[in-house]
Protein backbone atom coordinates (compact mmCIF):
# COMPACT_ATOMS: atom_id res chain seq x y z
CA UNK A 1 0.00 0.00 0.00
CA UNK A 2 2.73 2.47 0.99
CA UNK A 3 4.65 1.54 -2.20
CA UNK A 4 1.62 2.34 -4.29
CA UNK A 5 1.33 5.68 -2.57
CA UNK A 6 5.00 6.45 -3.29
CA UNK A 7 4.61 5.57 -6.97
CA UNK A 8 1.49 7.69 -7.19
CA UNK A 9 3.28 10.63 -5.59
CA UNK A 10 6.14 10.43 -8.14
CA UNK A 11 3.76 10.12 -11.08
CA UNK A 12 1.75 13.10 -9.97
CA UNK A 13 4.64 15.49 -9.49
CA UNK A 14 3.66 18.45 -11.68
CA UNK A 15 5.92 19.38 -14.54
CA UNK A 16 6.23 23.16 -14.84
CA UNK A 17 7.80 25.04 -17.74
CA UNK A 18 9.32 28.27 -16.47
CA UNK A 19 9.82 30.00 -19.84
CA UNK A 20 8.38 28.35 -22.93
CA UNK A 21 9.43 30.27 -26.05
CA UNK A 22 7.60 29.33 -29.25
CA UNK A 23 9.19 30.38 -32.55
CA UNK A 24 6.62 30.62 -35.37
CA UNK A 25 9.07 32.21 -37.77
CA UNK A 26 12.76 32.82 -38.32
CA UNK A 27 11.94 35.50 -40.88
CA UNK A 28 13.05 38.89 -39.69
CA UNK A 29 12.94 42.52 -40.74
CA UNK A 30 16.57 43.07 -39.74
CA UNK A 31 19.87 41.49 -40.72
CA UNK A 32 22.04 41.79 -37.60
CA UNK A 33 25.71 40.93 -37.93
CA UNK A 34 25.87 39.24 -34.51
CA UNK A 35 22.40 37.67 -34.49
CA UNK A 36 22.44 35.04 -31.74
CA UNK A 37 20.11 32.86 -33.80
CA UNK A 38 22.47 32.87 -36.82
CA UNK A 39 19.83 34.50 -39.02
CA UNK A 40 22.17 37.02 -40.66
CA UNK A 41 23.08 36.51 -44.31
CA UNK A 42 25.35 33.48 -44.51
CA UNK A 43 24.72 32.60 -40.85
CA UNK A 44 23.61 29.09 -41.68
CA UNK A 45 20.03 29.12 -40.40
CA UNK A 46 17.32 29.34 -43.02
CA UNK A 47 14.70 32.04 -42.60
CA UNK A 48 11.26 30.52 -42.90
CA UNK A 49 7.74 30.49 -41.49
CA UNK A 50 6.52 27.38 -39.69
CA UNK A 51 2.99 26.65 -40.97
CA UNK A 52 0.31 27.81 -38.54
CA UNK A 53 -1.12 24.29 -38.12
CA UNK A 54 2.32 22.93 -37.18
CA UNK A 55 2.94 25.67 -34.61
CA UNK A 56 -0.46 24.92 -33.06
CA UNK A 57 0.30 21.20 -33.04
CA UNK A 58 3.57 21.88 -31.19
CA UNK A 59 1.82 24.13 -28.67
CA UNK A 60 -0.79 21.42 -28.05
CA UNK A 61 2.00 18.88 -27.56
CA UNK A 62 3.69 21.15 -25.01
CA UNK A 63 0.49 21.63 -23.03
CA UNK A 64 0.00 17.89 -23.08
CA UNK A 65 3.46 17.45 -21.54
CA UNK A 66 3.48 20.32 -19.05
CA UNK A 67 1.02 20.74 -16.23
CA UNK A 68 1.67 24.44 -16.15
CA UNK A 69 3.66 27.11 -17.98
CA UNK A 70 4.77 30.26 -16.18
CA UNK A 71 5.55 32.37 -19.24
CA UNK A 72 4.32 31.38 -22.66
CA UNK A 73 6.42 33.41 -25.07
CA UNK A 74 6.33 34.16 -28.79
CA UNK A 75 9.75 34.99 -30.19
CA UNK A 76 11.30 35.13 -33.67
CA UNK A 77 12.90 36.09 -35.98
CA UNK A 78 10.40 38.90 -35.74
CA UNK A 79 6.96 37.65 -34.76
CA UNK A 80 4.97 40.52 -36.30
CA UNK A 81 6.18 39.49 -39.74
CA UNK A 82 4.30 36.19 -39.33
CA UNK A 83 1.06 36.51 -41.29
CA UNK A 84 -0.90 34.23 -38.91
CA UNK A 85 0.31 35.92 -35.75
CA UNK A 86 -3.13 37.23 -34.72
CA UNK A 87 -4.56 33.72 -35.19
CA UNK A 88 -1.75 32.31 -33.10
CA UNK A 89 -2.33 34.74 -30.24
CA UNK A 90 -6.00 33.76 -30.30
CA UNK A 91 -5.20 30.05 -30.54
CA UNK A 92 -3.45 29.94 -27.17
CA UNK A 93 -6.46 31.47 -25.41
CA UNK A 94 -7.71 27.94 -24.89
CA UNK A 95 -4.79 27.41 -22.51
CA UNK A 96 -5.36 30.69 -20.70
CA UNK A 97 -5.76 29.03 -17.31
CA UNK A 98 -2.61 26.92 -17.87
CA UNK A 99 -0.07 29.78 -18.13
CA UNK A 100 0.60 32.87 -16.02
CA UNK A 101 1.78 35.33 -18.63
CA UNK A 102 1.76 35.69 -22.38
CA UNK A 103 5.02 37.33 -23.42
CA UNK A 104 5.83 38.71 -26.86
CA UNK A 105 9.34 39.71 -27.94
CA UNK A 106 9.70 42.16 -30.80
CA UNK A 107 12.19 44.50 -32.42
CA UNK A 108 9.43 47.11 -32.98
CA UNK A 109 10.11 47.39 -36.68
CA UNK A 110 6.44 46.62 -37.34
CA UNK A 111 3.52 47.88 -35.27
CA UNK A 112 0.73 45.36 -34.59
CA UNK A 113 -2.09 45.60 -37.13
CA UNK A 114 -5.74 45.97 -36.04
CA UNK A 115 -6.32 42.21 -35.92
CA UNK A 116 -3.19 41.60 -33.83
CA UNK A 117 -4.08 44.48 -31.52
CA UNK A 118 -7.54 43.02 -30.89
CA UNK A 119 -6.06 39.58 -30.22
CA UNK A 120 -3.50 41.06 -27.82
CA UNK A 121 -6.08 43.11 -25.91
CA UNK A 122 -8.02 39.96 -25.00
CA UNK A 123 -5.23 39.10 -22.53
CA UNK A 124 -5.39 42.35 -20.56
CA UNK A 125 -2.77 42.51 -17.81
CA UNK A 126 -1.66 38.99 -18.55
CA UNK A 127 0.20 40.21 -21.62
CA UNK A 128 3.73 41.59 -21.48
CA UNK A 129 5.84 42.84 -24.39
CA UNK A 130 9.63 42.96 -24.46
CA UNK A 131 10.83 45.49 -27.00
CA UNK A 132 14.42 45.36 -28.15
CA UNK A 133 14.97 49.02 -28.85
CA UNK A 134 17.41 49.24 -31.75
CA UNK A 135 17.12 53.02 -32.03
CA UNK A 136 16.55 54.19 -35.59
CA UNK A 137 16.09 50.59 -36.74
CA UNK A 138 13.05 50.12 -34.47
CA UNK A 139 11.04 52.32 -36.83
CA UNK A 140 7.63 51.67 -35.27
CA UNK A 141 8.73 51.92 -31.66
CA UNK A 142 6.76 55.06 -30.78
CA UNK A 143 3.56 53.77 -32.35
CA UNK A 144 4.03 50.44 -30.58
CA UNK A 145 4.60 52.08 -27.19
CA UNK A 146 1.58 54.36 -27.68
CA UNK A 147 -0.65 51.34 -28.28
CA UNK A 148 0.75 49.48 -25.24
CA UNK A 149 0.54 52.51 -22.93
CA UNK A 150 -2.97 53.48 -23.96
CA UNK A 151 -4.16 49.96 -23.24
CA UNK A 152 -2.26 49.40 -19.99
CA UNK A 153 -0.23 46.56 -21.41
CA UNK A 154 3.03 45.98 -19.56
CA UNK A 155 6.21 46.35 -21.58
CA UNK A 156 9.93 46.84 -21.21
CA UNK A 157 12.33 48.60 -23.55
CA UNK A 158 15.77 47.06 -23.73
CA UNK A 159 18.13 49.75 -24.94
CA UNK A 160 20.28 48.35 -27.72
CA UNK A 161 21.60 51.48 -29.40
CA UNK A 162 24.14 54.18 -28.67
CA UNK A 163 25.84 54.25 -25.27
CA UNK A 164 24.91 52.23 -22.18
CA UNK A 165 23.33 49.34 -24.04
CA UNK A 166 21.47 46.65 -22.15
CA UNK A 167 24.09 44.20 -20.82
CA UNK A 168 26.67 46.40 -22.59
CA UNK A 169 25.57 44.98 -25.94
CA UNK A 170 25.91 41.56 -27.52
CA UNK A 171 28.56 38.87 -27.49
CA UNK A 172 29.94 37.37 -30.70
CA UNK A 173 28.92 33.71 -30.86
CA UNK A 174 28.62 33.73 -34.64
CA UNK A 175 31.37 31.37 -35.76
CA UNK A 176 30.81 28.31 -33.62
CA UNK A 177 33.64 25.79 -33.45
CA UNK A 178 34.41 22.86 -31.19
CA UNK A 179 35.85 24.45 -28.03
CA UNK A 180 37.29 21.06 -27.03
CA UNK A 181 36.40 21.33 -23.37
CA UNK A 182 37.03 18.04 -21.54
CA UNK A 183 33.81 16.19 -20.76
CA UNK A 184 33.60 17.01 -17.05
CA UNK A 185 34.50 20.68 -17.65
CA UNK A 186 31.87 20.89 -20.37
CA UNK A 187 29.25 19.42 -18.06
CA UNK A 188 29.97 21.94 -15.28
CA UNK A 189 30.18 24.92 -17.65
CA UNK A 190 27.01 23.95 -19.42
CA UNK A 191 25.15 23.55 -16.14
CA UNK A 192 26.28 27.01 -15.05
CA UNK A 193 25.44 28.59 -18.41
CA UNK A 194 23.17 31.60 -17.81
CA UNK A 195 20.82 30.30 -20.48
CA UNK A 196 20.55 27.04 -18.59
CA UNK A 197 20.06 28.70 -15.23
CA UNK A 198 17.10 30.77 -16.34
CA UNK A 199 15.38 27.52 -17.36
CA UNK A 200 14.23 28.65 -20.75
CA UNK A 201 12.84 26.33 -23.40
CA UNK A 202 12.67 26.84 -27.14
CA UNK A 203 10.08 25.27 -29.44
CA UNK A 204 10.84 25.32 -33.15
CA UNK A 205 9.42 23.17 -35.92
CA UNK A 206 8.45 20.18 -33.80
CA UNK A 207 11.43 20.18 -31.47
CA UNK A 208 11.58 21.32 -27.87
CA UNK A 209 15.08 22.46 -26.89
CA UNK A 210 16.36 23.90 -23.67
CA UNK A 211 17.89 26.98 -25.32
CA UNK A 212 17.96 28.83 -28.62
CA UNK A 213 21.56 27.82 -29.31
CA UNK A 214 20.73 24.14 -29.01
CA UNK A 215 17.88 24.78 -31.40
CA UNK A 216 19.62 26.89 -34.02
CA UNK A 217 23.05 25.22 -33.96
CA UNK A 218 21.24 22.01 -34.79
CA UNK A 219 19.40 23.87 -37.58
CA UNK A 220 22.80 24.93 -38.94
CA UNK A 221 23.72 21.27 -39.27
CA UNK A 222 26.77 21.78 -37.07
CA UNK A 223 26.54 18.29 -35.55
CA UNK A 224 24.33 15.27 -35.28
CA UNK A 225 22.20 15.52 -32.14
CA UNK A 226 22.86 13.10 -29.36
CA UNK A 227 20.06 11.30 -27.59
CA UNK A 228 17.94 13.59 -25.40
CA UNK A 229 19.33 16.82 -26.95
CA UNK A 230 15.70 17.79 -27.53
CA UNK A 231 12.20 16.37 -27.23
CA UNK A 232 10.64 15.51 -30.58
CA UNK A 233 7.13 16.85 -30.07
CA UNK A 234 5.80 15.15 -33.19
CA UNK A 235 7.17 11.66 -32.54
CA UNK A 236 4.26 9.58 -31.29
CA UNK A 237 6.44 6.50 -30.88
CA UNK A 238 7.94 8.10 -27.77
CA UNK A 239 5.43 7.99 -24.95
CA UNK A 240 4.30 11.02 -22.97
CA UNK A 241 5.93 9.50 -19.87
CA UNK A 242 9.28 9.10 -21.64
CA UNK A 243 9.15 12.71 -22.84
CA UNK A 244 8.31 13.95 -19.36
CA UNK A 245 11.20 11.92 -18.01
CA UNK A 246 13.57 13.72 -20.40
CA UNK A 247 12.08 17.08 -19.40
CA UNK A 248 12.56 16.33 -15.72
CA UNK A 249 16.30 16.19 -16.37
CA UNK A 250 16.37 18.87 -19.07
CA UNK A 251 18.80 21.18 -17.30
CA UNK A 252 21.12 18.53 -15.90
CA UNK A 253 23.41 17.61 -18.79
CA UNK A 254 25.33 19.24 -21.66
CA UNK A 255 23.98 19.27 -25.20
CA UNK A 256 25.98 18.72 -28.35
CA UNK A 257 25.60 22.45 -28.95
CA UNK A 258 27.32 23.26 -25.64
CA UNK A 259 30.57 21.98 -27.15
CA UNK A 260 30.44 24.78 -29.74
CA UNK A 261 28.75 27.56 -27.83
CA UNK A 262 30.43 30.48 -26.07
CA UNK A 263 27.26 31.67 -24.40
CA UNK A 264 28.30 29.91 -21.21
CA UNK A 265 31.16 32.42 -20.89
CA UNK A 266 29.01 35.47 -21.55
CA UNK A 267 29.87 37.05 -18.19
CA UNK A 268 33.49 37.51 -19.27
CA UNK A 269 33.25 37.83 -23.06
CA UNK A 270 33.78 41.16 -24.84
CA UNK A 271 30.66 43.11 -25.79
CA UNK A 272 29.80 44.65 -29.14
CA UNK A 273 27.16 47.13 -30.24
CA UNK A 274 23.87 45.30 -30.80
CA UNK A 275 22.04 44.98 -34.10
CA UNK A 276 24.65 46.35 -36.49
CA UNK A 277 23.11 45.81 -39.91
CA UNK A 278 24.84 43.89 -42.65
S1 LIG B 1 26.31 26.72 -23.61
FE2 LIG B 1 25.02 27.39 -25.32
S3 LIG B 1 24.04 25.51 -26.00
FE4 LIG B 1 24.79 25.12 -23.94
S5 LIG B 1 23.11 25.65 -22.52
FE6 LIG B 1 24.36 27.48 -22.79
S7 LIG B 1 23.38 28.61 -24.44
FE8 LIG B 1 22.64 26.53 -24.55
What's 59's domain CATH number?
Answer: 3.20.20.70
**Based on the structure, what is the number of domains in the chain?**
1
Strand blocks (E) in the chain: 16-22, 68-74, 99-106, 127-133, 154-159, 200-204, 207-209, 231-232
- Ligand 1 atom closest to 173 (CA): 2
User: Bridge partners of 19?
Assistant: 71, 200
**Is residue 7 assigned to a domain?**
no
Rounded CA gap, 62 and 191, in Å? 23
Ligand 1 centroid distance, CA of 256 (Å): 9
What's the CA-to-centroid distance between 222 and ligand 1, angstroms? Answer: 14
Is 171 among the domain residues?
yes
User: Tell me, what's the pLDDT at 13?
Assistant: 82
Range of the domain at 63: 14-265
Atom of ligand 1 nearest to the CA of 214: 3
Q: Report the separation in Å between the CA atom of 262 and the middle of ligand 1, taken as the mean of its atom positions.
A: 8
Name the residue of 36, 255, 259, 269 whose CB sits within 8 Å of the most ligand 1 atoms, as the mutation to test its pocket. Answer: 255
Those residues with Cβ within 8 angstroms of residue 42's Cβ, 6 or more apart along the chain or in another chain: none
The residues facing 71 across adjacent strands are 19, 101
Whether residue 62 lies inside any domain: the answer is yes
- Domain assignment of residue 148, yes or no: yes
* Position 2 in a domain: no
pLDDT per residue of the chain (278 residues) written in tens, 0 to 9: 445 555 555 556 899 999 999 999 999 999 999 999 999 999 999 999 999 999 999 999 999 999 999 999 999 999 999 999 999 999 999 999 999 999 999 999 999 999 999 999 999 999 999 999 999 999 999 999 999 999 999 999 999 999 999 999 999 999 999 999 999 999 999 999 999 999 999 999 999 999 999 999 999 999 999 999 999 999 999 999 999 999 999 999 999 999 999 999 999 999 999 999 99
On whether residue 273 sits in a domain, the answer given is: no
pLDDT at position 1? 43
Domain membership flag for residue 64: yes
> Is residue 271 one of the residues assigned to a domain?
no
Amino acid sequence: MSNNKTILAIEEKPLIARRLAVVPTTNCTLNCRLCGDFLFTGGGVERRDIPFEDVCRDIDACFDLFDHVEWLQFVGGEVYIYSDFAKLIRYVEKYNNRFNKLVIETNATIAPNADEQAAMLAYGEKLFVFISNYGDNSYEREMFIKFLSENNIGYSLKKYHGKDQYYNGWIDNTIPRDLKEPGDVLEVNSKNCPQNRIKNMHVYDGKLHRCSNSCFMLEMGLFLPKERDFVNLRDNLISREEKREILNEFYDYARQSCRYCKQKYMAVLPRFPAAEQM
